């Protein structure tokens, strides 16, 4: 019983946290499109870093990116 309650609480927390992040679409100048799980991070050395919905971490040069918009 205790395990079931813990599982329900953990599921609730995960759904709440995932609901707070806004997915973004990152488009590159060469036509590629990436779907991120949250707002991309801009690094000090002119890169954009984000995590895709597939769980892959992507690092793009800012010069390669044509647009970033909320999904």
Strand ranges for the chain from DSSP E: 24-28, 33-36, 41-42, 47-51, 57-61, 65-70
Residue 10 lies in a domain: no
31 located within any domain: yes
| pLDDT tens readout for residues 41-71 | 998 899 999 999 999 999 999 999 999 999 8
**Higher pLDDT, residue 36 or 4:** 36
Whole-number pLDDT of residue 10: 65
Structural domains of the chain, count: 1
- Domain CATH number, residue 31: 2.30.30.100
Query: Does pTM top 0.85 for this prediction?
Result: no
């Amino acid at each position: 019983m205790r395990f079931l309650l813990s599982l329900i609480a953990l599921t609730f927390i995960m759904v709440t946290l995932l609901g707070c992040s806004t997915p973004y679409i990152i488009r590159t100048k060469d036509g590629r499109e990436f779907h991120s799980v949250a707002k991309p991070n801009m690094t000090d050395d002119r890169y954009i870093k984000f995590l895709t919905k597939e769980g892959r971490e992507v690092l793009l040069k800012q010069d390669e990116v044509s647009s970033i918009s909320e999904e």
